Amino acid sequence: MVFGELDADLKQKISAHLDECEKCRAMHDDMAATVKIMQEAFQNEPAQVFEPAYRDAINEEIRESLQSQSPTGKWRRFMSTLNRPSLTPAKVLWRMAAVFVALLLLAGLLTTPTLKKAFEGSSQLSFEQEQLDNNHAVEDAKRAMPGPPSEPPPVAKPKREAVATTLEHGRLARSAGRETTARNRPQGADSTVGGDTLLAEAATMPAKEAESRAPDAAKNKLAITREDTGEKAGISFDDYEESGKMALSTRAKIVPPAGIRKSDEAQLPAQTESKALADIAGTRSSKRRNEAGQTIVRPDTEPTAADLPAAKESGGKSVFRAPRVNPFVLTESDRYSTFAMDTDTASYMIARRYLAQNQTPPAGAIRVEDFVNVFDYNYPTDTDRIFGIFADGAPSPFRKELKLVKIGVQGRVVGRANRKAAHLIFVVDTSGSMDQADRLPLVKQSLNLLLDQLDDEDWITLISCDTEPHLLLDAVPVKQAPQVRKRINSLQTGGSTNLLGGIKLAYQIARRAFRTGGVNRVMLCSDGAANVGPTKSDELLEQVAEYRQQGITFTSIGFGIGTYNDEILEKLANKGDGTYIFIDSLAQAREVFVEKLAATLQYIAKDAKIQVEFNPLQVRRYRLLGYENRDIEDDEFRNDSVDAGEVGSGQSVTALYEVELRSPTGSKEAENATDLATVYVRYRDLDTGKVEEVSRKLGADIILDRKRDSDPRFFLAACAAEFAEILRGSEYASGTSLTEIVNYLEKISAALPLDDKVRELLAMVRRAKALKPTGGE
Amino acid sequence: MKKNQDTRSDQVAAADHTAAVALKSMMDSFQSPLLGYVTKLIGSRQSAAQDIVQEVFLRAFRKMQRDGQNSIKNPRCWLFRVAHNLAMDTGRKRGRQKNMQDTLMHDPVTQGNIFPGSTAADYAVDRDEMYKLALQAVDELPEEQRNVVLLKIMQDMTLKQISEITGLKIGTVNYRLTQALRSLAEKMKKVGFFET
């Protein structure tokens, strides 16, 4: 690149000189290497976008400059259109009618009390919510969103803007939604932030003219939507158009749409109320359905305490993004809690890795469910049924006023003999960043370990992937082990990362050499430091999701820490019906590829979901610990096309709920209702391909006053979850200190002397405590 | 006569509209590169960079409004040139000078690993650390070298484009770039990269 722009002649001369002169050669090489590092370094930098305040200022300026000349011009143009000879009287009439209708709507809009009501309602709501669930996250949300609550909604601005508002309301609402997005993700890399309100401003031309441009504008809108569907920026325009009735962009801004017809107007308050219910319940899931069956879409990016450290962390470092922390939900308003099963444990491994380096793991890397699922809770396995449901409960060890309910779902064990033949397609990232002891060398060791475990009937494909993908082994039977081994051991690093290319190639081969009735699995071994922008990673995700339908699954195996991009690896695994594993040591590799090979390779069920229905007569409110990014809409539980979790042979999933029980009211109903909750598990049996559902009622008798010595595993789960909560900075754990957890774990460790994992957790908590001089107090 | 007037006012409105649309697409494409460039160039608080880039886009809008959408033939060059000039005007009072040596003394090697499989050597060199040092080295370049390096390596521009943006001759750009790369390479070497 240094000499990239010289003409060929000069280049030749220089390279000739370089061949001769050692000193110049060395200098040239150094410079070339410097350029390369610099390029990588710049690429690694997070992209910057305008802060909302700046973007707004630009919009404001443009709005003013447009308005300064518009009123007279508009009027003159309007008059002149009437005089045009080409206009027939019919056309004139039609246009006048159009203007008249527009004015009527406008008047209706300004006088209608609905707006005012809606606005008042929403601000009241957030107040009530604070009182109700004492949820500090709300305050955080407000802090992170200065302005909106006190700002009048855009429509409240009079006349001049009203035309634009009625025509472009959707976009205004959208842009408001996007502001939140941008605020939460200051480093958002793509063009999510753009001056779309500019378009709205530009539309402050006469109504009829804007009408004629409407189709064009609509196209623009859709283009914008398509741009950031991957980002799931708050409001999907499609949804908006469909419901055509209501867009909730932020808690405080409710923008009613243009063509409000009378019937719609009548519905608006009702919808606001039903939103109110959802809000009071403190449910902040991204989508909820109201009674009218319309989707209310809200930004999925409400800031949480956990978001902030995550954002900081991504300043050129590993990219972790924290999901929001589940809030308490009032059982009366939403008795269902639904989520996809998730057996990943990567988050725990990453935290372990950080702590081993004497660093506090970034809050964004912590997923509570991963911490809980690391441990073995000794659920009995039943060979007849695919899933068994187990539950126990006790007063919460860390929050006395609450009860902790532990729900475990244990999968059947498939014997080694029953394992299906597999075609494993390994995509190994051999880019420069993998050139560290805990990356490529560990990948090689892991693959060699795996090779010992595979059967002769299994096939293996090996693709190395740097600047270009290279096909090293093409569906070779494992019995040709020497050749396979040789190829694996010859992997070398260099170049940038073209993961997209590698994965594409992998799927091509997976499709070509598809094993019907077997396991077809693409396995990505990477540090996740792919030089792919967000648009590309969306493309990647789409592809993975598409092939999932065809029976090719995807597993992410993360290696190394540092440039490690947790988010993309997890997303890939989630989309591809796969698991996400993090390997940081040979011991861990042995666990994944030797001890738990069946679980890693052989799934017993897919699209497995759990729904817990709490009994409002018994349970006042509940909170699910973790599983935030595994959230499923309650009424999607029996929709079998929803992508949910996969469960490997013998794996178990444990979920913890914090619940507050109702104090006995003495009413007859309450006496009769002894069930706390009902657990439903729905999944597709991978052997038969049929969807099945099992359920179990949980009686109030599961909650006992348990002791650490007699029920150590219950407290182990509680400690693991609490540790994760503290690490991710959850408000709910603010009253707990790491010292308390250490105290519990010491007892548990004594009660479970054979469980290495408990000792490891204890060591981790101690390490974390040492890093935080306050001990988390 | 009247008709002419109307056409003109139509045109004005249309120009406003297209200018706004054009500005939006400009902002979509260039706000990140511009912000990245200006931040690195002036090396001060981010808000200063935001101020500058905001002004750049406003100027672009005013120009397109005044002279028509096509008055900016090469938006990338135009935007970068304006940004460059504004940054040069304000960037003189740069307050940040980190001492590279201090950072280099910092050694992330861990001691006393309690977990299996992680050795101190694993962490001795971290790619991120290297990137950080590389960017710091750029920060420490003199301003006139820094801007060519940023334009060339960060923004991947040709020498001709750089010369247009900075108003320097191509030869000068080339000279400064070479100087900068040489001193960068030396710095990196001092830190211990390129040991073979």
- Residue A550 main-chain phi, psi, to 5 deg: -90, 5
Residue A155's pLDDT band (cuts 50, 70, 90): very low
Using alpha carbons, select from A353, A393, A365, A337 the residue that is nearest to residue A613.
Answer: A337
pLDDT confidence of residue A20? 80
**Is pLDDT above 70 for A117?**
no
What are the helix and strand counts (H, E) for chain B?
Answer: 9, 0
Chosen from B52, B153, B190, B193 to mutate, greatest number of chain A CBs within 10 A: B153
Q: Note the pLDDT tens digit of each residue in A243-255.
A: 333 333 333 333 3
pLDDT confidence of residue A720? 94
**Is pLDDT above 90 for A337?**
yes
Interchain proximity A356–B20, CB inside 8 Å = no
Chain A nearest-CA residue for B192: A30
- In chain B, which residues have their Cβ closer than 8 Å to the Cβ of A199? 20-21, 24
pLDDT confidence of residue A716? 93
More confident residue, A330 or A649: A330
Q: How many other CB atoms are found less than 10 A from the CB of residue A521?
A: 23
Interchain proximity A41–B159, CB inside 8 Å = no
Q: Which residues contact A512 (CB under 8 A, 6 or more apart)?
A: A475
Cβ(A296)–Cβ(A247) under 8 Å?
Answer: no
**Is pLDDT above 80 for B163?**
yes
- In chain B, which residues have their Cβ closer than 8 Å to the Cβ of A41? 130-132, 134-135
The average confidence (pLDDT) of chain A is: 69
Q: Which residue of A198, A317, A760 is in closest CB contact with B20?
A: A198
- In chain A, which residues have their Cβ closer than 8 Å to the Cβ of B159? 5
Interchain proximity B61–A584, CB inside 8 Å = no
Q: Note the pLDDT tens digit of each residue in B113-130.
A: 333 333 333 333 456 667
Question: Amino acid identity, residue A323?
Answer: P
Give the orientation angle of helix A136-144 with respect to helix A113-133, to 10 degrees: 130
Look up tokens 């000189």; give the residue.
A17
Chain A nearest-CA residue for B14: A202
Cα(A409)–Cα(A388) distance, integer angstroms: 6
**Is pLDDT above 70 for A650?**
yes
Cβ(A525)–Cβ(A429) under 8 Å?
Answer: yes
Token pair of B72, please?
Answer: 């900016």
Q: Note the pLDDT tens digit of each residue in A24-55.
A: 888 788 788 788 878 877 877 777 777 777 77
Ranges A670-674, A752-756, B179-183: which has the least confidence: A670-674
Chain A nearest-CA residue for B20: A198
Interchain proximity A205–B31, CB inside 8 Å = no
- Residue A460 main-chain phi, psi, to 5 deg: -135, 135
pLDDT confidence of residue A3? 53
The average confidence (pLDDT) of chain B is: 70
Question: Amino acid identity, residue A519?
Answer: V
pLDDT confidence of residue A654? 94
Chain A nearest-CA residue for B56: A58
- In chain B, which residues have their Cβ closer than 8 Å to the Cβ of A65? 16, 61-62, 65
- Residue B169 C-alpha, separation from nearest chain A C-alpha, in angstroms: 15
- In chain B, which residues have their Cβ closer than 8 Å to the Cβ of A585? 115-118
* Highest mean pLDDT out of A78-87, A197-206, A684-693: A684-693
Using alpha carbons, select from A308, A310, A278 the residue that is nearest to residue A294.
Answer: A278
More confident residue, A293 or A511: A511
More confident residue, A84 or A276: A84
**Is pLDDT above 70 for A128?**
no
Q: Which residue of B21, B58, B135 is in closest CB contact with A202?
A: B21
DSSP state letters, A4-38: TTS-HHHHHHHHHHHHH-HHHHHHHHHHHHHHHHH
In the DSSP assignment, the letter for residue A383 is S
Interchain proximity A76–B194, CB inside 8 Å = no
- Residue B92 C-alpha, separation from nearest chain A C-alpha, in angstroms: 22
> How distant, in Å, are the alpha carbons of A71, A203, A492, B14, B56 from that of A67?
7, 11, 62, 13, 21
Interchain proximity A58–B58, CB inside 8 Å = yes
Per DSSP bridges, beta strands A254-255 and A247-248 are: antiparallel
**What size, in residues, is chain A?**
777
- In chain B, which residues have their Cβ closer than 8 Å to the Cβ of A54? 50-51, 53-54
Q: Which residues of B154-169 are buried (b: 16+ CB within 10 A; e: fewer)?
A: bbebebebbbbbbebe
Cα(A308)–Cα(A367) distance, integer angstroms: 15
**Is pLDDT above 50 for A193?**
no
Q: A181: burial class by Cβ within 10 Å (0-12, 13-18, 19+)?
A: buried
pLDDT confidence of residue A284? 36
pLDDT confidence of residue A657? 95
pLDDT confidence of residue A462? 92
Interchain proximity A202–B17, CB inside 8 Å = yes
More confident residue, A212 or A644: A644
> How distant, in Å, are the alpha carbons of A121, A366, A656, B103 from that of B186?
64, 40, 56, 17
Using alpha carbons, select from A347, A55, A83 the residue that is nearest to residue A183.
Answer: A55
Ranges A288-302, A337-351, B157-171: which has the least confidence: A288-302
Cβ(A548)–Cβ(A575) under 8 Å?
Answer: yes
- Residue B31 C-alpha, separation from nearest chain A C-alpha, in angstroms: 6
Task: Dihedral sign for Cα A630, A636, A638, A642, please.
Answer: negative
pLDDT confidence of residue A509? 87
Chosen from A1, A2, A62 to mutate, greatest number of chain B CBs within 10 A: A62
**Is pLDDT above 90 for A354?**
no
C-alpha of A342 from chain center? 13
**Is pLDDT above 90 for A437?**
no
**Is pLDDT above 70 for A588?**
yes
Using alpha carbons, select from A673, A646, A678, A651 the residue that is nearest to residue A662.
Answer: A673
pLDDT confidence of residue A273? 40
Ranges A314-318, A644-648, A673-677: which has the least confidence: A314-318
Q: What is the largest CA-CA distance in chain A?
A: 99
> How distant, in Å, are the alpha carbons of A470, B33, B154, B155 from that of B151?
33, 10, 6, 5
Chain B nearest-CA residue for A760: B115
pLDDT confidence of residue A68? 60
Alpha-helical segments (H) within A323-410: 346-356, 368-373
Q: Which residues of A371-395 are buried (b: 16+ CB within 10 A; e: fewer)?
A: bbbbbebebeeeeeebbbbbbbbbe
Per-residue pLDDT, averaged over B173-181, amounts to 88
Look up tokens 């509570």; give the residue.
A368
Cα(A162)–Cα(A103) distance, integer angstroms: 10
Complex ipTM value: 0.71
**Is pLDDT above 50 for A585?**
yes
Query: CB under 8 Å, gap of 24 or more: what pairs does A205-211 form?
Result: A205/A70, A205/A74, A205/B13, A205/B17, A206/A74, A206/A77, A206/A78, A206/A99, A206/A163, A207/A98, A207/A99, A207/A102, A207/A163, A207/A167, A208/A81, A208/A95, A208/A98, A208/A99, A209/A77, A210/A163, A210/A167, A211/A98, A211/A167
- In chain A, which residues have their Cβ closer than 8 Å to the Cβ of B2? 80
Q: A456: burial class by Cβ within 10 Å (0-12, 13-18, 19+)?
A: exposed
Share of chain B above pLDDT 70, in %: 66
Instruction: Assign A625 to helix, strand or coil.
Output: strand
Ranges A595-599, A603-607, A741-745: which has the least confidence: A595-599
Question: Amino acid identity, residue A123?
Answer: S
Ranges A447-451, A616-620, B192-196: which has the least confidence: B192-196
Share of chain A above pLDDT 70, in %: 62
Cα(A319)–Cα(A350) distance, integer angstroms: 12
**Is pLDDT above 60 for B8?**
no
Per DSSP bridges, beta strands A519-526 and A422-429 are: parallel
- In chain B, which residues have their Cβ closer than 8 Å to the Cβ of A37? 130-131, 134, 188, 193
pLDDT confidence of residue A43? 76
Cα(B93)–Cα(B111) distance, integer angstroms: 42
Q: How many other CB atoms are found less than 10 A from the CB of residue A106?
A: 17
Interchain proximity B51–A54, CB inside 8 Å = yes
Q: Note the pLDDT tens digit of each residue in B55-90.
A: 888 888 888 877 777 788 888 888 888 888 888 776
Instruction: Assign A703 to helix, strand or coil.
Output: strand
pLDDT confidence of residue A250? 32
E strands, A249-340, are 254-255, 287-289, 295-297, 329-330, 336-340
- In chain B, which residues have their Cβ closer than 8 Å to the Cβ of A76? 5-6, 9
Residue A513's pLDDT band (cuts 50, 70, 90): confident
Chosen from A318, A357, A438, A761 to mutate, greatest number of chain B CBs within 10 A: A357
Chain B nearest-CA residue for A562: B128
DSSP state letters, A317-328: S-B--PPPPP--
> How distant, in Å, are the alpha carbons of A707, A746, A750 from that of A755?
19, 12, 10
Q: Note the pLDDT tens digit of each residue in A696-751.
A: 998 888 888 888 778 889 999 999 999 999 998 888 888 888 999 999 999 888 88
Per-residue pLDDT, averaged over A264-288, amounts to 39
Interchain proximity B127–A563, CB inside 8 Å = yes
Q: Which residue of B6, B115, B154 is in closest CB contact with A80?
A: B6
**Is pLDDT above 60 for A311?**
no
Per-residue pLDDT, averaged over A73-98, amounts to 56
Chain B nearest-CA residue for A202: B17
**Is pLDDT above 70 for A69?**
no
Q: Give every strand in the sheet of A652-661, ordered side by side.
A: A329-330, A619-625, A652-661, A403-411, A387-395
Chain A nearest-CA residue for B161: A5
**Rg value, chain B, Cα:** 23
- In chain B, which residues have their Cβ closer than 8 Å to the Cβ of A85? none
Interchain proximity A353–B118, CB inside 8 Å = yes
Chosen from A11, A42, A60, A438 to mutate, greatest number of chain B CBs within 10 A: A42
Beta bridge partners of A614: A677
pLDDT confidence of residue A109? 65
pLDDT confidence of residue B63? 83
Query: CB under 8 Å, gap of 24 or more: what pairs does B80-84 form?
Result: B80/B34, B80/B37, B80/B151, B80/B155, B80/B157, B80/B161, B80/B165, B81/B164, B81/B165, B81/B166, B81/B167, B82/B56, B83/B34, B83/B37, B83/B38, B83/B52, B83/B53, B83/B56, B84/B41, B84/B147, B84/B165, B84/B166
Interchain proximity B32–A760, CB inside 8 Å = no
Per DSSP bridges, beta strands A603-614 and A645-648 are: antiparallel
Per-residue pLDDT, averaged over A632-658, amounts to 87
CA dihedral B24, B28, B29, B34 (to 10 degrees): 100
Residue B46's pLDDT band (cuts 50, 70, 90): low
**Is pLDDT above 70 for A279?**
no
In the DSSP assignment, the letter for residue A605 is E
Residue B35's pLDDT band (cuts 50, 70, 90): confident
A230-A235-A238 Cα angle (round to 5): 85
More confident residue, A739 or A183: A739
Cβ(A566)–Cβ(A318) under 8 Å?
Answer: yes
Share of chain A above pLDDT 90, in %: 12
Q: Which residue of B2, B31, B115 is in closest CB contact with A49?
A: B31
- Residue A613 C-alpha, separation from nearest chain B C-alpha, in angstroms: 41
Q: Which residue of A33, A77, A193 is in closest CB contact with B194?
A: A33
